[in-house]
Amino acid sequence: MRVGFIGLGQMGKPMAGNLVSSGFQVTVFDPLHSAVEDLVDRGAKEGASASDVAERSQLTVLMVRDATQAEAAVRGEDGFLAGAAEGDTLIVVSTLPPALVRDFGETLSARGLSVLDAPVSGGVEGARAGLLTIMAAGQADVLGRCRPVLEVLGDRIYHVGEAVGLGQTVKVLNQALYFTGLAVSAEAIVMGAKAGIDPDVLVDVIGESSGGNWALKNRAPLAWRNEYRSGGALSIALKDLRAATQLADDVGAPALVASSTAHLFKLAESLFGAGGDDPLVVKAMEIIGRHTLRREG
């Protein structure tokens, strides 16, 4: 099977690499040429543009950063649509606004093309290991065609509905839960540390108790264990939280906690820059709480 891959960032590059290692004929494109070169050295073919990738592929995976990049990669002058042939499929694994992906579905369907809305969760670690959770929305036959590729990328594939956009809806809600979990974990850790509890003890105990969550166990401790580095950017967190509040507006539902969390991430971004990693939310809480968690030496 000829597979294309557009977007070779921190998650896209290892995902494309796993497809190469699994024996697929993979053509890749990213504006950052060094990312392309590394995969070409491993057996991938280099695409000159997103349209070139589409022209050479039956299934094309889209893993770009945000809606602006997705729009350019799909409907831009050298985008997927310019090179795709009738019957081809675009697999959208990026996290994007549900309305945008629904619009892609309508545009591509009118051209005899298919979209599988299949955002992923699991972070850089899951992308490297091929252990992502995939939230797929689309017609069952489209999912069937894409399944051999998805099974390389992830170990849990959920068909959440046939309407394109529902995959993104589930992912946006997942992100809202994840980032609110990280925010409240940061708050609790700083509070506990000021009261005299070792942060590692707090994480170990609450991580196995009813207050535990994935962010508490796997992201918040990177504040003092790994110099606030995780591979997940504050700007991405803010993008996803804004998508959650937009979804709430679209359907007429409350987003009180997600909105408050977005304000905290905006504060962290203003303090540390958009390129800073998401555990810096813990540092923002340290500043607000006037307590330092990092241990010297």
Distance CA 42, CA 19 (A): 11
User: Which among 13, 45, 171, 239 is annotated as catalytic?
Assistant: 171
Query: Element (H or E) spanning 287, and its range?
Result: helix 280-289
Measuring CA to CA, how many Å separate 61 from each of 28, 70, 219?
Answer: 9, 11, 27
Token pair belonging to 32: 């950052």
Give ∠ CA 135-141-146 in degrees, rounded to 5. 55
Q: Residue 218: how many CA atoms within 13 Å on its side-chain side?
A: 13
Token pair belonging to 123: 């972070």
For residue 61, what are the contacts with CB-CB under 8 A and spacing of at least 6? Answer: 3, 4, 5, 6, 15, 16, 19, 91, 93, 149
Q: Residue 160: how many CA atoms within 13 Å on its side-chain side?
A: 21
Phi-psi region of 165 (alpha: psi -120 to 50; beta: other; left: phi over 0): left
Distance CA 119, CA 137 (A): 9
Active-site residue flag, 266: no
The answer to whether the beta carbons of residues 86 and 112 sit under 8 Å apart is yes
Distance CA 191, CA 289 (A): 8
Token pair belonging to 247: 């979804």
- Active-site positions? 171
